[in-house]
Amino acid sequence: IPSFVRGQMSLPSDPVYLATTTAIQREPWVALGDSLGLTDFDPITVNWDLPAEWKDATLDGAIMNQGAGYALVLGFGAFFTALTMAATYLEARSTGAMSSEHFNTAGRNVKTGLTASVIVSQWTWAATLLQSSNQAWLYGISGPFWYAAGASIQVLLFGVLAIEVKRKASNAHTFLELSNFD
């Protein structure tokens, strides 16, 4: 069994095979490794029950020392902070001061296509996709169609309700504002 010295992960020059491995068992693995281009590593010579040491900055093979890692993280953090602040400043200069009303309603400038894409993206999640596939498996090509048709009823009803709410309370943002009867 190869012995690992701290800081050295290489195998001895003469391969030592595990006691439970025979040369006949080794040959298919070596052939597979050769076909994959793995010529410098023989998995049969490794004792997989022996944990390997994690490398740190004091050992050979570490990507960088700790100081360089901190400098990299803090440098990227400072760069992206400055980039975000510059983008915010440029947006404020180009659009002027925005109120909370403008922020909450997106300037009342959201078109039908964006609204439809938001509804579809929120409606289509993992369970919907899996159930649609399940319906296709059970009922063929019509399964997902009828599943989506049944699920679309509430979207259509919400559209009718939203139009009526827009007519009655055009400046409302929340349900509590809808209940204001002044």
pLDDT tens readout for residues 149-179? 887 888 888 888 888 888 888 888 778 887 7
pLDDT tens readout for residues 76-135? 999 999 999 999 999 888 887 778 878 777 877 888 888 888 888 887 788 888 998 999
Domain ranges of the chain: 1-59, 63-97, 108-182
Supply the DSSP string of 47-99, one letter for each residue. Answer: -TTSPPPPP-TTSTT-SS-HHHHHHHHHHHHHHHHHHHHHHHHHHHHHH----
The phi, psi pair for 118, rounded to 5°, reads: -65, -45
User: What's the predicted TM-score (pTM) here?
Assistant: 0.38
